[in-house]
Amino acid sequence: MPKPTEDQVTRAANRIDRHVGQTVRARRLATGMSQERLAELIGVTFQQVQKYEKGVNRISCSRLYDIARAQEMQPGEYFPAISKGIKK
């Protein structure tokens, strides 16, 4: 069994987490939605949305589902680069 990476051990945000956060931000800006409005729709503070977008905090699956609904996207749309070989 492979040894877990430091990201997996510390549960810190990794490249994929940051990519998802950047995609959340890009979609929010493209639709003219404020951080405050997204936060209201998903039941968190706007500071938490900032942390998600910057990749400081990881987004759980259930929270990503909430974000996707608020942004009128499918959850899988946050991961297009993974199939192109994004590495941790």
How is residue 5 annotated by DSSP?
P
pTM as predicted: 0.79
Query: What fold is seen in the domain 11-84?
Result: 434 Repressor (Amino-terminal Domain) (1.10.260)
Q: How far apart are CA 24 and CA 35, in angstroms?
A: 10
Q: Domain-by-domain residue ranges, the chain?
A: 11-84
- Please say whether the beta carbons of 30 and 22 come within 8 A: no
pLDDT tens digits, residue range 39-65?
999 999 999 999 999 999 999 999 999
pLDDT tens digits, residue range 18-32?
999 999 999 999 999
